[in-house]
Amino acid sequence: MEPSNLSFIGLVCLLAAVLVVATLWLWSRLAGPGLKRLAARSALLVGTQLALTLAITLLVNRWFVFYNTWDDLFGPVRSNAKVQTVQPSRGKESTLGKLVKRTPTALGPHRPGRAADPKVDGRVDRLQITGATTGLTTEAYAYLPPQVFQPQNRGKRLPVVLAISGGTGPSDDKLAWIKQAHLPEEAAKAVAANRSQPVVYVLMRSVKGLTQAAERPAGGGTTGGGVKPPSSAGSHPASCLNVPGKGTGQALAFYSQDVPLALSEVYHLPTDHKGWGVIGFGSSGQCAARLAMTGSARFGTAVTLNGIFDLSAEVPAGLAADDGQSGGKPADPFGGSPAFKQEQDLFWRLDHMPPPPVSMLVAAGTGGRPAQQADRFVSLAKPPLHAEKSIVPVAGDTLAAWRGQMPQIVAWLSSRLQGELQ
């Protein structure tokens, strides 16, 4: 049991209470001269004081979370993870043109028979994003509502939501949110019907759509934190994690750090986490939950659609590629550290770590494993993490099947996101 575990704290408090009662009951019986009686009284006093002190210390630690695990208190578990030497950029800062390239498209909602007008219809931009810290790159699409282009809204920072596709086939595609879920169209309808505030939606593919760039924008040869790129240019991360060492990349850092940095360079977006949300479908459902739970300083709201939260779903067997130094065996994606692996388990985090101040909607189709996972996730959630469950009669594990739920999802996100005034 960890020092912050309530069951462990309860046992210690019970022991302290028993020792106090025992001391009061036995004190008169142990009165009188003699070394044995003196030793017995001393043992009762010392034992009671130690138990009370330990109980109070554990309660204080539980409240302030000084030490969440025994490793935090007595020292970390040794691991085989190796951190490469950081190569400084020597003052070569990333420039806008190297972080993101923006191209307007005709993919946004439009009125039949009329020319598209951004002030009325909004616009969808094609983005080519390269991570300043990870060196990962991807293609994305940003839906900008009409309010972005209207003069009366100049100076307003509209909320923004990262939508990450997942699953298989056409549901895990860079255009899945547009062609299957019709998310920009549903967002525009919701605003027109006063069911939602204007929101910027950035539509992306899962980690399968991330590619390691040949060179970082800042000119360095390492990823953020001094971690070497997963392998040669053109490789793809295998999961939405920040994995130490080589083989899998830093996909989580790309979504939580690089993408917001790049977007904020080209669009007028909120600076507070209350203005940022994330939604993940299928295999990216856990990614959306992980971004909110581990990056609540950036994301204040999250939605998962048919997500699986077990670590085995995020880290399948043979995740890491052979690094050429392991005798042909797949490298351990957690650097040989059981403690690090445990911290990546979202269910374990819900049960043992302080909850983040975020709002989450956990949605799943009726029956099946996603619905069971949604039940467990919501049952473990504690304030200030507010998690709501939505089990809906959706047939099929595709974004197209979830199109009918987009109005409710858009409205739920809108009610929890906050824009800003400059």
What pLDDT does residue 419 have? 94
C-alpha to C-alpha distance for 92 and 85, rounded to whole angstroms:
18
Choice between 119 and 338, residue whose per-residue pLDDT is larger: 119
* Beta-sheet strands, E only, within 145-258: 156-157, 160-164, 200-204, 211-212
Predicted TM-score of the model (pTM): 0.73
How many domains does the structure of the chain reveal? 2
Residue type, 29: R
What pLDDT sits at residue 66? 66
Q: Is residue 88 in some structural domain?
A: no
| Whether residues 204 and 346 fall in one domain | yes
User: Is 79 domain-assigned?
Assistant: no
Mind listing the pLDDT tens digit for each residue in 151-198? 999 889 999 999 999 988 889 998 999 999 999 999 999 999 999 999
**Domain limits at 42?**
6-74
Q: How does pLDDT run across 274-296, given as a tens digit for each residue?
A: 999 999 999 999 999 999 999 99
Cβ neighbours for 71, distance < 8 A, ≥ 6 positions apart: 77, 339
Question: Which of residues 82 and 212 earns the better pLDDT score?
Answer: 212
* Residue with tokens 């904020």, as numbered in its chain: 264
Residue 6: CB atoms within 10 Å: 11
Q: Are 223 and 128 contained in the same domain? A: yes
The answer to whether position 81 is within a domain reads no
Per-residue tokens: 332: 């351990």
Task: Write the CATH number for 235.
Answer: 3.40.50.1820
Sequence letter at residue 10: G
Q: Do 114 and 239 belong together in one domain? A: yes
Q: What is the mean predicted confidence (pLDDT) over 46-72?
A: 79
Q: Which helix (H) or strand (E) holds 375?
A: helix 368-380
Give yes or no: residues 131 and 242 share one domain: yes
| 124 and 40 part of one domain | no
Same domain, 144 and 32: no
Residue 84 within any structural domain of the chain = no
